[in-house]
Amino acid sequence: MAVNFMQPFGKQFDLARGVMLDPHECIVRRASEMRGYYADDAALERLIAEGDDPLHYETFESPVPEEPGQIRFCISKLYPGVVGQECFMTKGHYHAVPQTAEAYLCLAGQGLMLMKTADGACCWEEFRPGRLVYVPPCWAHRSINTGDEPLISLCLYPGEAGHNYGDIRTEGFPRRVYRRHGGVVVE
């Protein structure tokens, strides 16, 4: 396999704040970019209008090329909150190359990783600090913040994986996660 030569490097994180210092790229998603993902569209519109289009999540990407043999890494920081009663979440995605896995090490916060396959299987795993969630090949994955603090994870995935958001946009996930009556429920 041909691999482009590159220099080794180190990367500094601020684990307390959940950020990668000097990231190659920072993807910022605000509430207005989440239209169509939550069950209660009106509640999302109220949040956008009254909350001044608040930050939803941020992803700090490493400068690793998207090539086979590389290991891409990023920090995912998902803010706490609800849309109606539905917990803040990421859009979720399949990998563009479906036979690629991903590992998420939770650094801070509380939440769930919701996962589904194209043929309808669905499950979830708990995020809490120090817990690694392994997403096998072919599983779409979405992070959900069920707590009161930012949910921060270190993600590692193969260089060639890529992202496929489109199929999730049309399919959705079969389950949603709510905060109701002081508890967290998956429906």
User: Minimum distance between the CB of residue 129 and Ni ion, rounded to whole angstroms?
Assistant: 20
> At its nearest, how many Å lie between Ni ion and the CB of residue 95?
6
57 binds Ni ion (CB under 5 A): no
Compute CA distances 101 → 10, 50, 121, 135, 158, whole Å. Answer: 23, 38, 16, 6, 7
Task: Give the residue closest to Ni ion by C-beta.
Answer: 102
- In this complex, which beta carbon is closest to Ni ion, that of residue 58 or of residue 102? 102
Pick the stretch among 17-25, 50-58, 100-108, 126-134 that binds Ni ion (CB under 5 A).
Answer: 100-108
Contact between 102 and Ni ion by CB under 5 A: the answer reads: yes
Burial call 103-142: b when 16+ CB within 10 Å, e when fewer: ebebbbbbbbbbbbeeeeeeebbebeeeeebebeebbbbb
Residue 187: alpha-carbon gap to chain centroid: 20
The reply to whether 140 sits near Ni ion by the rule CB under 5 A is no
Which stretch, 20-28, 46-54, 102-110, 178-186, contacts Ni ion (CB under 5 A)?
A: 102-110
Which residue number, 11 or 91, has a Cβ lying nearer to Ni ion?
91
- E strand residue ranges, 84-150: 86-87, 102-108, 111-116, 122-127, 132-135, 140-145
**Contacting Ni ion within 9-48 (CB under 5 A):** none
Least CB distance to Ni ion at residue 48 (A) = 26
The residue among 88 and 104 lying less far from Ni ion, judged by its C-beta, is: 104
Give me the numbers of helices (H) and strands (E) for the chain, helices first please: 2, 15
Closer to Ni ion by CB, 86 or 102: give it. 102
Binding site for Ni ion (CB under 5 A): 102
